[in-house]
Structure 1
Amino acid sequence: MAKSGTPQPVSWTRTYFRDVFNSGELLWNLTQREVRGKYKRTALGQLWSLANPIAAIIVYTFIFSVVFQVPAQIGDPSGLDNYALWLVCGLLPWLFFQSTITQGVRSIVDNSSLVQKVYFPRLVLPLSLTGAGVVNWSFEMVVLVIALSIFGAFVLPWLPMVALFMLVLAVFAAGLAMILAIANVFFRDLAYLLTVILQFWFYLTPILYPISLVDNQSERWGGLLGTPVTLADVYRLNPMEPYVSIFRDLLYHNTWPAPSAVIAALLWALGTFALGLFYFTKTEKRLAELI
């Protein structure tokens, strides 16, 4: 048996992944518990999942479209000219991502009694929260697609691509949630620090404003500190930037997303998920004693 902190045998890793695969029913039950329990005994039930996005859309639309008069983007080739719809196409992916990692970071600590008493692949804890988030997000996206269609967007042919990149973003969010969930076991302040980080992250992502404003400012500044690296280059290191761009292209503009955005989104998803799996399998056997 390997000592604590040393690389785990390949045979144990294979056994672990087999256990995860065989825990599909547990994952499904935990996901259902999250979906149903969140709005249990409420009159509106699942409709409450729309409350936060609608409130955010109203507030941000008033502040940025009416007060600051950020120009609405013209859909190309959809022809849409509506700031609220443009906003929500980028806001819903962000809200899903934010919800997944803020809940996922506490997924192990909040279930410490279960982790200490019963053996099961702990990986299903953050994955179940991701699954529940996807269910809520899908409900919100149905409403958005209906609204876009009413205002003249031709969304139907793009729905398979939308569903595909919803899955890609879910993989990225799940990978990051796994990493944060393990890190939170060692550093309990992380869950609180994350809320602060997300506030900065939100405004550094082109959700409320078009990325063209960043590009224009980048051209004015030129290379940073005398280097060929521009503000736009640094800005696009934000892993959520390609996802927002992709969803806006598909839903609002009704066009293919830029290949660079697609490649970046896939790399972030696969890389983060692989790192999360490695981190989990390395720490899994010690979680009960660490908590």
Structure 2
Amino acid sequence: MNPHARHSISLTYLLAGLWRSRQLIGRMIRSEVIGRYKGSALGLGWSLVHPLLMLSVYTFVFSIAFKARWGTHEGESKVMFAIILFIGMIVHGLFSEILNRSATLIPDNVNYVKKVVFPLEILPVVVTGAAVFHTLISLLVWLLFYLVCVGVPDWHALFLPLIIFPLVLLSLGVSWVLAAVGASFRDVGQTTSIITAILLFLSPVFYPIENIPQALHPLIMANPLTFVIEQARAVLIWAQMPDLAGLLVYWTLALLVFWAGFVCFQKSRTGFADVL
């Protein structure tokens, strides 16, 4: 294989390649997850401890120190505030983990770049898979907390995969773009950390979107996390049907970003070896 040869940008090629590399992707995701906690006493236990610690800190700061309330009803408990808050944190955590890891993917994997037979396009898939694993752990923590404090979630919770999966596709598309750009511009990694921190407060994680002035709603809704957070809370907490029309639009946009990101990566990968 010629490292400077053109690479296919078709979705058929991508899906076939991912299927062929499924075992390699699985092993690399496992190594990515385990490697993060290698040498620590708790090991994978940190994937449970971390979301619990962050939830406790944010709940204390906002519901006790700032005396914030969601405003769903009078006498709202701190437990309910924590349950609502955690959903926003989980969605933001998924997106931010993928973005922050993607910008340095190519420089961090120079050995793979120089192996011309290695399918470089799977590197963002591995990062996304590891982020999805941590998201599932966080959702398990949320579910256990909800079962103990509230009860069994309503059947509308079954719609959650339909809501989360397009965000995964969109995040993967952005990951391919960041990996491609980050190969040449090392400042991208610093930029993404700033952007994800800003998105934490520009997303309805700590507050209901109804609290935002109507004039600013278009800005908040332009945030790719807002719709997912609102719909996840609708099905998990408020026992409501998801916005199917909105989901159709979001799925369409996510698929476009997914494919555009792959095209960007494939067009750029011929120069990776030259800039490392």
Structure 1, unmatched stretches of 5+, are: 219-229
1:188 aligns to what? 186
Bigger mean CA deviation after superposition, 205-214 or 18-27: 18-27
1:166 aligns to what? 164
Give the TM-score of the pair, scaled to structure 1: 0.83
2:217 aligns to what? 232
The CA distance in 1 between the partners of 2:9 and 2:259, in whole Å, is 18
1:273 aligns to what? 258
36 and 156 in structure 1: CA distance in 2 versus 1, 3 angstrom threshold: farther
The CA distance in 2 between the partners of 1:148 and 1:12, in whole Å, is 43
Aligned match of 1:283 in 244, 265, 268?
A: 268
Alignment of 1:241-256 (within 5 A): 241-256=226-241
Q: Is the 8 A contact 1:73 1:86 kept in 2?
A: no
The CA distance in 2 between the partners of 1:59 and 1:80, in whole Å, is 13
Shift of 1:264: 4.3
The CA distance in 1 between the partners of 2:240 and 2:30, in whole Å, is 35
Bigger mean CA deviation after superposition, 262-271 or 202-211: 262-271
The CA distance in 1 between the partners of 2:206 and 2:12, in whole Å, is 45
1:89 aligns to what? 87
The CA distance in 2 between the partners of 1:156 and 1:121, in whole Å, is 42
The CA distance in 2 between the partners of 1:9 and 1:151, in whole Å, is 52
Q: Is the 8 A contact 2:170 2:258 kept in 1?
A: yes
Give the counterpart letter for 2:216 in structure 1. Answer: L
The CA distance in 2 between the partners of 1:103 and 1:162, in whole Å, is 25
Bigger mean CA deviation after superposition, 42-51 or 17-26: 17-26
Shift of 1:278: 1.0
Deviation readout 1:137-191 (Å, 9 max, x if unpaired): 1122112112112222442624432233332221111111111111111211110
Q: Is the 8 A contact 1:107 1:126 kept in 2?
A: yes
2:119 aligns to what? 121
The alignment status of 1:100 with 2:85, answered yes or no, reads no
The CA distance in 2 between the partners of 1:277 and 1:100, in whole Å, is 15
CA radius of gyration, larger in: 1
210 and 260 in structure 1: CA distance in 2 versus 1, 3 angstrom threshold: farther
The CA distance in 1 between the partners of 2:115 and 2:240, in whole Å, is 51
Give the counterpart letter for 1:256 in structure 2. Answer: M
Give the TM-score of the pair, scaled to structure 2: 0.87
The CA distance in 2 between the partners of 1:270 and 1:13, in whole Å, is 11
The CA distance in 1 between the partners of 2:61 and 2:20, in whole Å, is 49
Q: State percent identity of aligned pairs.
A: 25
Q: Is the 8 A contact 1:31 1:128 kept in 2?
A: yes
Structure 2, unmatched stretches of 5+, are: none
Following TM superposition, where does structure 1 have runs of at least 4 consecutive aligned residues deviating by more than 3 angstroms? 8-21
13 and 135 in structure 1: CA distance in 2 versus 1, 3 angstrom threshold: closer
